[in-house]
Structure 1
Amino acid sequence: MRHVILIILSFLLTICSGATCAWALGEESFGNQPLNAANFQDWPGIVPVVNHESRVYHQWVNGNEYCFYRGNNESLNDVLKKFAATDEKVHEVVLRPGPAVVDSFNKSKTIHYHWNLHLVGGIAKTMTKKDQGAKIWSKHPILTIYVGGNIQLDKIKIPKGVSVLELADLEKRYSKGLKSTDTTVRGWSNGQLARLDPYSESNMKAIARLLEDDDKWVRLNAAGALATFGKKAEPLLPTLQETLNTDDQQLKTRVKETIKKIEDAKDKTKAEKEHQEMVSKISQFRKSLAK
């Protein structure tokens, strides 16, 4: 059985009803000390991936679970072999531009990593059964690789039976979540889509449309997610200003915070160019796999 501690995690998976979020059960660990194999029985064969020596951080919240790894291509390719060898019917690997960092629960530590493993079990697994929920919470493990730096694209060895995805594939999935009949899925999709690609104008506009959603919690999530786009979201400032004409004080506060973050955001033209160049290289690499 898991040893679980009680923590408040508004930025991670919570059980929500309207605009009210409940306490979330979660745990985290640092380093690569082996995790209990009994906790991963839903995914036969995944333990060698979970407990790979390259793991540097692990977090679990209500069954929404991530393992984070740091290493070079040799280490990554070893993980890919082990991932492909699991008994899962679907083996999906996402390639996306790096770098990548994650904060510890209390934000006292920032962990740099090169790939992660996402597993959905426990309470979180119920989200896969909601309308479009499986588009956000995958029913099978997903390995995401952040290309660049230590991880060289041309040295990644994709094993047979593994499907390679890129940002465009996930954008299609997450965008469907925005149209879910379930408010939790709809609201959660905002942040997922924003973090997927903070330079995507189409994603930004899709999220902005949910500022007019019928549900308060969805509107709050949309307003907060738009801050992720920084200066890219400047054209939306008039829309956000109009949103301030509301009696909803919580939404008003959230919108004001987002407006300030957008106005204070640094120019990321150079970073966006490098990002787009890597997106293109990943797309070409994926096409080469089909030859």
Structure 2
Amino acid sequence: MIKPRFKLPVILFGVLVVLAAATPAWSLGMEDFGNKPIRGGNYESWPNVLPVINDTHRVYHRWVNGNETFFFRGDTDAVNESLENFVKIQCDIKEVVLRPGPTETSDLMQTKTVEFDWKLQLIGGIAAGMQREDMGEKIWVTHPVMTIYIGRDISLDRLVIPHGVQVTQIAELQARYAEALGSSSKTVRGWACGNIAQLDPYNSAAMYRIAKMVTSEDKWVALNAAGALQGFGAKAKPALKQLRDAANSDDERLSKRAKETIALIEQAKPDEEAEANHIASIKAIAVFCAARSEN
């Protein structure tokens, strides 16, 4: 059975645009659709990355201040071929993240939806400089990261991950981002809220972590926490008290975002089948990773 499409990345990108708008430095972005070959002048930090970038299965590409993501649509054979190229990138760490799918994202203006099965993220420029923030390295990793969404046309049974890559599961990312919530940097804390929310829309513990940030004294962090809660849908109903308090804030943006989130949560309906499928996929990924580590 194909699992229900995971739509959270579309919502969360809007949250991160709010984050990006917090300072003038975080305002530059560009995108393109399709698989037109990209030249390699900007990728000298990752020798041999171009075969991964220019895979013919690429459907979308966006760049925001050095935070660059390439999105691909294809089956298990296609992603296996991409993994063979990924492992050839010359760098110390190459990370593969396995997540439940299928999934989709949106364009920069959120006017178009793009379905994809795996993505490659490269961080350089201004975004890489954010590592200098307290715990910034937990949010902005400068090694290549390929995220594969299990479901639709990607099957764990036929997935082949080469030796020489670090394989990461959702639980490990949850722990990484949860630690970043304790950063002294409001930028890191705000981005951590968005990163946690987009991992698992059914994780109550993650939801409570973000709900706590809605009460942050820093209104900008609270703003992004309030927006991130949208992705949890009905699961975020226990956070309505914090959101209603935020809706009464004298900060206009926070009040508006909290009211929008309240409306979405109150209208949301539980989807037990989608949740069960999501949890089953997480468990299957854990079994896959355990078997891989034994070999």
Q: TM-score, normalised by structure 2?
A: 0.91
User: Partner residue of 1:36?
Assistant: 39
Query: Residues 41-66 of structure 1: CA distance to partner in whole angstroms, max 9, x if unpaired?
Result: 11111111111111111000100000
2:15–2:194 Cα contact (<8 Å) kept: no
Structure 1 position 192, deviation (Å):
1.1
2:52–2:86 Cα contact (<8 Å) kept: yes
- By relative contact order (CA 8 Å, sep 6+), the higher-ranking structure is 2
1:53-202, aligned counterparts within 5 Å? 53-202=56-205
2:100–2:151 Cα contact (<8 Å) kept: yes
Structure 2, gaps ≥5 residues long: 1-13
SS of residue in 2 equivalent to 1:225: helix
Aligned length: 281
User: Partner residue of 1:282?
Assistant: 285
Given the alignment, which residue of 217, 225, 230 partners 1:227? 230
1:191–1:225 Cα contact (<8 Å) kept: yes
User: Partner residue of 2:213?
Assistant: 210
1:212 aligned partner, one-letter code: T
User: Partner residue of 1:4?
Assistant: none
Q: Report the identity percentage.
A: 45
SS of residue in 1 equivalent to 2:59: strand
1:109 aligned partner, one-letter code: K
SS of residue in 2 equivalent to 1:276: helix
User: Partner residue of 1:6?
Assistant: none
Q: Distance in 1 between matches of 2:24 and 2:214?
A: 19
1:13–1:124 Cα contact (<8 Å) kept: no
Structure 1 position 227, deviation (Å):
1.4
Q: Distance in 2 between matches of 1:13 and 1:117?
A: 23
Structure 1, gaps ≥5 residues long: 1-8
1:122 aligned partner, one-letter code: G
Identify which range, 212-221 or 248-257, moves more after superposition. Answer: 248-257
Q: Distance in 2 between matches of 1:246 and 1:13?
A: 18
RMSD: 1.7
Q: Distance in 2 between matches of 1:118 and 1:219?
A: 27
